[in-house]
Every structure is written in C-alpha cells, then in structure tokens.
Amino acid sequence: MAVFKFSDFSSVSSFPTGFLVGYDGVNNVRISYSNLKSALIVNWDEAYTATTQDTASWSAKGVGTNVNAALVAKNGGATVAHIPDGTSAGGNARGFVATDWQKDRASNIQVASGDYSVLSGGRDNRASGNYSVVGGGTVNVASGLYSSILGGVFNSADSNAATVGGGQDNYAWANHATVAGGQQNGAYAISAVVAGGYQNVAASNYASVCGGDGNAAGGDRSHVGGGLDNVANGSRSIVGGGDGNAARSPLSFIGGGNGNSIETGADASSISGGQFNVVQSGASFGHVTGGQNNAVYAEAGRAGGIFGKANNYNQDSFGYSNGFQTSSIRIKNRNATYSTGSIDLYTTGSVYPVVPTNAAYVGIWNVHAKLAIQSKTGDGAAVISPGDAMCWQLEFAVKIVGTTVSILGSPLIVSSFGDSSLSSSTVSVSIGAGTSNLIISVTPPTVGVGTIDLIAFGSLEFLEIAAT
C-alpha cells in the first residue's frame, strides 16, 4: 500500500461519507468512523448515554469472562484525575506512585503529594505524608507518615500512623494516635485514643476516652468511659462516667456520680459513685462506696472507707456488718480575735457535720468526742497566757427517726483537764433548728482585756446502729 502525505488530498473537492486515508492515483481510499474505532481501540468499548445523567464511558472487553481495566502510569508516575499545573485547577506535582482522584480543590497544595499516598476523593483534601491516605470528605489533611483519614471535615492526622476515622475538627497529633469520630476531639500522645463524643482529649501515652463531652484522660494509660467534664489525670486511673468527676492519683478509680474527686497523693483509692465525695491527698487506698459529701482523709488506713450515706468524714477505719457502721471525722475552727461568745466547730470551712436522714431510716449514733481549745496568744491582763489549753472527752448519742434528729439525753463529760485560765469553758451539743446539722460548740471565758487567737479542734468517732 502506498504511503501518503496530507498534501496528497488537497485537490479533493468533496468526499464520500467516511475518513479519507489514502489515494491510489485513481480512487480515494476511505474508512468509516466505526471501522477506524474498531481498528484502533481493540480492547475497549466507548459509549455515551443521557439516561439519568449525561455520561461518557469506556468499558473493557476481551475474550475472557472477567476482564480487568487498568490505567497504568509509567515507572514511578502518579495516577491522577487532573493534569498537575501548579494551580488550584490541576494542583501541584503528585508524589512517587501516588494516586489522586480528587476533582475539586481550593489550593494547589491539596493533592496527594506524598510518595505512595492516596487521595480517593472528596474536596480540598491533602495527603502529604508518604504512604498517607485520605478517603474523602473535605479539608482533611493526612501529613504524617502512614497516616490516614477516612472522611469527615477539618480533620488532621499529622504523625506517624495516626488515624482519624471521620467527624469534624478532630486531631490525631501523635504517633499511632487515633480519633474514631465525633467533633473537636484530640488524641495528642503516643497510641492515645478518642472513640468519639465532643471536645474529649486523650493527652497522655496510651490514654483513652470512649465518648461523652469535655472529658480528659491526662494520665498515662488512663481512661474515661464517658459522661461530662470528667478527668482521669492519674497514671492508670479510670473514671467510668458521670459528671465532673476527677481521678487525680495513680491507680485511682471513680465509677460515676457527680463532683467526686480523688486528690493527688491518694494512690489506689476509689469512689464507686454518689455526689461530692472525696478521697483527700495522702489517703492512699481510701474508698467511698457512695452517698453524698463523704470524705476520707490522710489518716485512713489501707482498709479505710465510707460505706455511702452522707456527710461522713472517715479518718480511721471502716466496717459494716449486720446494720453497724463505724467512721470518724475531724472538726475545727479558729477565732483570731476572740473576746467573748461561743465557737462552733466545723468539718470544713463553715460546714457543720450533717446527720443523714431518710423517711425510711431509723438509727442511732453513739458518739465519742475528743475536744480541745488552745490560745496562741495571751490577753492584755496576762490572765490567759500563750499556749493555755483545755481538753474534754465526752459521750453522747444522736437519734434518727426518718427525718427527725435529736440528741438522746444529755452529753456525758467523761473527763476534762487543762489550764486554770480556761477551766470555766463549757461544751454544748445540739441539732440545728430546722436542719440535721450536728452543732458542737465551745464557750471559753470572756477575755477581760484585749483579744486572744483561739483555736478549737476535735475528733468524733461514730458507731452507727441502723434498725433499717
């Protein structure tokens, strides 16, 4: 067959249907479009349809029953949906053997620029870490080596093997950290995990938060199950849930409830639940089962704890069997300018010990009290000297029937001793009017000249006998 140039056809004024491909000196040689397509495109069928949506397609064909379709780049070339042109239209150069099917971007850097990276789709996403993957969504950035983001919006995985499953504004910013989903969550330490929820943080190595709102696992290997504004800052500490609970010591545990706390230096302590219960600093191995406003102080031993009623302050040991419970509390107060009157003793601040009441509860407290007052300064008449003190031991009982609380009989002063300057001091025990407050007061003698700095303190040991 003769070889022709395009100039050979310049004298042809009209053509029959088909492409002119040659001229043998007598006749034009023509081929139809369909024959040309069949000759040049051997393994593909091309088609166009307007059904449902305008679509042009290429379909693989061949003698096999199942035929793969491959778009193969040369050597280390990338597979792309747009031709890189350095603008937001085509984007910057892709990474070695990268795959970038994203078809819309606001910036030229929003491409699969990492070597072996994959950008499956979505909009305005970026896979800049080597071997990184973004599945879809919008404005997601996988910049760490082996990092991945499945989808969502405004998510970031910037460290080695960091992962964000989806959601919005989530951050996996440490090696092997994971945020599965939710909103505004952060995993900021090695292998830290936040499963979901809102504004949760796993900020120490191997820490985890399952969900909830505003929770933080700040101790290494610590865990928060869920709830609201809970904190597990102690190493290997756990808060199961609830609201506003804080486990600040290593190996500490709070099951749930509201406003419960285990302070620093109270290792291996626990609070099962309840409200406003506390294990104070230094009270390692302390335990509160539940209830309200219960506390374990530093003197508590390894078996220390509160069974779980209300306003107990354990400092010694705990036991509960067949309707008996023992506990103890501290009470104190200070008047730096005392001249006359009485001094009430409080558990903390200006809070009285509170006797728990319940419509179905009948019980009695047998109380052994040790009280003392001491003047830190002398008076102007030299009657009371610095360091003068007075001490008492007394017994009394508190009777509880439903919501009615009373002192049973009269308190018995077992012993009293001290300096003569304060020997006229008196002690009283009562229940506050309209409340179940246990009021213990000391009335020192009136100071004749000037004032004194007076401290009052004591301890109460309870034996509770419950009939119900």
List the structure tokens of 263: 């302070």
Q: Which of 140, 176, 172, 170 is nearest to 158 (CA)?
A: 172
Got the DSSP string for 330-387?
EEEEEEEEE-SS-EE-BSBTTBPPB----TT-EEEEEEEEEEEEEESS--TTSSSPTT
pLDDT for residue 16: 46
Confidence of residue 199 (pLDDT cuts 50, 70, 90): very high
pLDDT for residue 230: 96
- Asked if pLDDT for residue 403 goes beyond 80, the answer is yes
Confidence of residue 301 (pLDDT cuts 50, 70, 90): very low
HSE on the CB side for 253, CA within 13 Å? Answer: 10
pLDDT for residue 468: 55
For residue 424, what are the contacts with CB-CB under 8 A and spacing of at least 6?
445
Q: What integer best gives the mean pLDDT of the chain?
A: 87
Q: Which of 438, 411, 466, 467 is nearest to 312 (CA)?
A: 438
Count CB atoms within 10 A of the CB of residue 188: 17
Give the residue-averaged pLDDT of 265-280. 92
List the structure tokens of 168: 């919005």
Domain architecture of the chain: domains with CATH: 6-40 (no CATH), 325-466 (2.60.40)
- Asked if pLDDT for residue 425 goes beyond 80, the answer is yes
Q: What is residue 78's DSSP assignment?
A: P
Calculate what percentage of the chain has a pLDDT beyond 90: 68
What pLDDT, in 10s, does the model give residues 76-99? 999 999 999 999 999 999 999 999
319-321 sheet: strands from edge to edge: 319-321, 324-338, 452-466, 362-375, 389-401, 404-418
- Asked if pLDDT for residue 3 goes beyond 70, the answer is no
Burial of 121 (0-12, 13-18, 19+ CB in 10 A): middle
Confidence of residue 34 (pLDDT cuts 50, 70, 90): low
Give the residue-averaged pLDDT of 280-299. 81
List the structure tokens of 98: 């990268």
Cα–Cα distance for residue pair 153/26, rounded to 1 Å: 68
Residues comprising the chain, all counted: 468
Calculate what percentage of the chain has a pLDDT beyond 70: 85
What pLDDT, in 10s, does the model give residues 380-393? 888 999 999 999 99
Give, in order, the Cα–Cα distances in Å from 3 to each of 17, 20, 22, 27: 22, 13, 8, 14
Q: Name the residue type at position 420.
A: S
List the structure tokens of 255: 């099951």
**Is 208 within 8 Å of 193 (Cβ atoms)?**
yes
pLDDT for residue 294: 81
List the structure tokens of 266: 């109270």
> Phi, psi at residue 36, to the nearest 5°?
-65, -45
More confident call, 108 vs 353: 108
- Asked if pLDDT for residue 13 goes beyond 50, the answer is no
What pLDDT, in 10s, does the model give residues 343-352? 999 988 888 9
pLDDT for residue 31: 57
Lowest mean pLDDT among 12-16, 327-331, 333-337, 443-447: 12-16
Give the residue-averaged pLDDT of 444-457. 93
What pLDDT, in 10s, does the model give residues 98-123? 999 999 999 999 999 999 999 999 99
Give the residue-averaged pLDDT of 120-140. 98
Cα–Cα distance for residue pair 103/80, rounded to 1 Å: 9
Cα–Cα distance for residue pair 164/224, rounded to 1 Å: 19
- Asked if pLDDT for residue 15 goes beyond 60, the answer is no
Confidence of residue 310 (pLDDT cuts 50, 70, 90): very low
Query: Which residue do the tokens 């539940």 mark?
Result: 290
pLDDT for residue 33: 57
**Is 126 within 8 Å of 111 (Cβ atoms)?**
yes
List the structure tokens of 8: 């050979």
Most confident of 18-27, 201-210, 278-287, 308-317: 201-210
- Asked if pLDDT for residue 311 goes beyond 60, the answer is no
What pLDDT, in 10s, does the model give residues 150-182? 999 999 999 999 999 999 999 999 999 999 999
pLDDT for residue 302: 37
Cα–Cα distance for residue pair 111/103, rounded to 1 Å: 10
What pLDDT, in 10s, does the model give residues 234-265? 999 999 999 999 999 999 999 999 999 999 99
Give the residue-averaged pLDDT of 266-285. 90
